[in-house]
């Protein structure tokens, strides 16, 4: 099913403040300019059980230039990731976000780092938006120690807790209940913050999403469920998988809002509206009408279930970066050459980040078994890890304390299985002897024999 393309008339200036910027600016432009510009969103918002926000969005030259730079950096990062994957420097799963950058940038502009974001496996650009670096991103993609998850998460498991980013998740839809849990914690702690739980149209039919939404509505949690509707699941168009593709209405009793997810300013306005609503009234659903240029993952060419003409049409009429570029040029905030220079700087920045990420070493093999349990627990994991390491001839680094705990566990198991321990349990004769001591005695007896 072909998508409906938007009008080429993308962002129409409304106010006199905007028109006043038509006079020539000093070169180079100053991104610190905070003069107010008011623009109209590309299409109206559509509400479900709520009055939609105004289409008039206030912005500034600084914000518009930041939007352009950040989205261009996200786009370049994803294009580079595509090349690294084809060069086999990135292995495993890899899902790219190019085309959907306006969602990440617009959402970030409406909230703070105290607000939480949790998403699925298409997570690279959201991590960058939360303050992550290119080096951390590329190092993680290539499984290096300098990665945001120490090289152990890969493409699907970016993470930055100190900025409220609780990661990418590989299980379809499973991040939504976790997001509602984050919102529960915020309400329990009486914080004035919200959680954005992102999922795709393919995950919108998952049962756990509706279970979590029911609990969020029941307890009035500050949870904002964001459906990034890029119109295709893993090779399946939405109309083939979904009886009711109006995802913003899926909450039934929960309000919803449909947003042009290719318009960064519309996303900003919607997320600001949603945050205010969630803090006062509980959950709300945002459906971001967006589009991915790549296939679902790197194993999907992305052209077998849609036409190349459709992809080209979206690029020409709805591309989020080109929309901001046109707005910047129309208000003479920068020249075409200055924007091209920014893109060149970003290419250089990305190339340098890749080179630096490649210098980072791979994680030590023993790291395979760390960060599984809280320290001091999970002794069974230590046993399994030592067994696997011995089979694979991998080094297992144990601290003196861990080695002592492991030996005590072995003695305890020997003690509990011994006849001496059974005698103790029956007669109470050795009731003050712990299993570890009995195990040690059993070993000593065997040694004497």
Interatomic CA distance for residues 420 and 23, integer angstroms: 94
As a whole number of angstroms, the distance between CA 245 and CA 233 comes to 12
One DSSP character per residue, 277-340 reads: HHHHH--EEEEEE---SS-SSTT--S-SSS-HHHHHHHHHHH-HHHHHHHHHHHTTSS-HHHHH
Distance CA 142, CA 149 (A): 11
Instruction: Give how far the C-alpha of residue 419 lies from the chain's centroid of Cα atoms, to the nearest Å.
Output: 55
Alpha-carbon distance of 175 to 118, in angstroms, equals: 7
3 state SS for 136-177: HHHHHHCCCCCCCCCCCCCCCCCCEHHHCECCCCCCCCCHHH
pLDDT tens track, the chain, 449 positions: 344 333 333 344 333 333 333 333 444 445 458 899 999 999 999 999 999 999 999 999 999 999 999 999 999 999 999 999 999 999 999 999 999 999 999 999 999 999 999 999 999 999 999 999 999 999 999 999 999 999 999 999 999 999 999 999 999 999 999 999 999 999 999 999 999 999 999 999 999 999 999 999 999 999 999 999 999 998 889 999 999 999 999 999 999 999 999 999 999 999 999 999 999 999 999 999 999 999 999 999 888 899 999 999 999 999 999 999 999 999 999 999 999 999 999 999 999 999 999 999 999 888 877 777 776 665 555 555 665 666 565 555 555 666 777 777 877 777 666 655 555 555 555 445 677 777 677 666 555 54
Which two structure tokens, joined as six digits, stand for 79?
């294009």
How many residues are there in the chain?
449
Residues 253-277 pLDDT 10s: 999 999 999 999 999 999 999 999 9
Q: Which residues contact 128 (CB under 8 A, 6 or more apart)?
A: 70, 73, 74, 77, 104, 134, 137
Say which residue the tokens 């393919």 belong to.
202
Q: Residue 220 corresponds to which tokens in the numbers above?
A: 């009035």
C-alpha–C-alpha distance, residues 192 and 280, integer Å: 10
| Sign, CA torsion 158/148/188/258 | negative
The pLDDT score that the predictor gives to residue 205 is: 94
Measure CA of the first residue to CA of the last residue in the chain; give whole Å.
Answer: 81
The alpha helices in 52-165, defined as continuous H runs, are 61-86, 101-110, 124-129, 134-141
pLDDT at residue number 6 = 38
- Asked if the bond preceding 28 is cis, omega within 30° of 0, the reply is yes
d(CA 188, CA 355): 44
8 Å CB contact between 223 and 190: no
Q: In what order do the strands lie in the sheet with 56-59?
A: 12-13, 37-40, 56-59
Helix axes 207-218, 175-188, angle to 10 degrees: 10
Q: Answer for the pair 60, 260: CB distance below 8 angstroms, yes or no.
A: no
The first and second tokens of residue 429, run together, are 């004769």
- For 94, phi then psi, to 5°, come to -155, 120
Report the pLDDT value the prediction gives residue 386, as an integer from 0 to 100: 62
Contact criterion met (CB below 8 Å) for 87 and 94: no
């Amino acid at each position: 099913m072909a998508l409906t393309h938007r009008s080429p008339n993308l962002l129409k200036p409304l106010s006199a403040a905007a028109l006043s910027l038509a006079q020539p600016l000093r070169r180079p432009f100053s991104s610190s300019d905070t003069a107010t510009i008011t623009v109209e969103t590309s299409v109206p918002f559509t509400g479900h059980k709520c009055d939609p926000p105004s289409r008039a969005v206030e912005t500034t030259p600084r914000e518009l230039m930041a939007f352009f730079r950040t989205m261009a950096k996200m786009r370049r990062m994803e294009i580079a990731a595509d090349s690294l994957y084809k060069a086999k420097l990135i292995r495993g799963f890899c899902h790219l976000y190019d085309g959907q950058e306006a969602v990440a940038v617009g959402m970030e502009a409406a909230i703070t780092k105290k607000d939480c974001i949790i998403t699925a496996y298409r997570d690279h650009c959201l991590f960058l938006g939360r303050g992550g670096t290119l080096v951390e991103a590329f190092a993680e993609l290539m499984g290096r120690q300098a990665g945001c998850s120490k090289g152990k998460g890969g493409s699907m498991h970016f993470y930055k807790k100190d900025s409220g980013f609780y990661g990418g998740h590989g299980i379809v839809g499973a991040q939504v209940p976790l997001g509602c849990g984050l919102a529960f914690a915020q309400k329990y702690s009486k914080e004035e913050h919200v959680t954005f739980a992102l999922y795709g149209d393919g995950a919108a039919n998952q049962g756990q999403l509706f279970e979590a939404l029911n609990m969020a509505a029941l307890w009035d949690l500050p949870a904002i469920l964001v459906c990034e509707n890029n119109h295709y699941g893993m090779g399946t168009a939405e109309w083939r998988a979904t009886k009711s593709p109006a995802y913003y209405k899926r909450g039934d009793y929960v309000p919803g809002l449909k947003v042009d997810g290719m318009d960064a300013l519309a996303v900003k306005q919607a997320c600001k509206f949603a945050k205010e609503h969630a803090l006062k009234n509980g959950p709300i659903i945002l459906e971001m009408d967006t589009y991915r240029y790549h296939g679902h993952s790197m194993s999907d060419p992305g052209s077998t279930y849609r036409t190349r003409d459709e992809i080209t049409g979206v690029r020409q009429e709805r591309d989020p970066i080109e929309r901001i570029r046109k707005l910047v040029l129309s208000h003479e905030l920068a020249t075409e050459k200055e924007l091209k220079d920014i893109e060149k700087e970003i290419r250089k920045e990305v190339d340098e980040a890749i080179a630096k990420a490649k210098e980072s070493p791979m994680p030590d093999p023993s790291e395979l078994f760390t960060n599984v349990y809280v320290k001091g627990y999970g002794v069974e994991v230590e046993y399994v890890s030592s067994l696997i390491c011995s089979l694979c001839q991998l080094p297992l680094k144990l601290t003196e304390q861990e080695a002592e705990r492991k030996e005590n566990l072995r003695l305890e198991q020997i003690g509990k299985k011994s006849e001496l321990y059974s005698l103790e349990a029956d007669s109470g004769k050795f009731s003050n002897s712990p299993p570890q001591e009995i195990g040690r005695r059993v070993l000593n007896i065997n040694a004497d024999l």
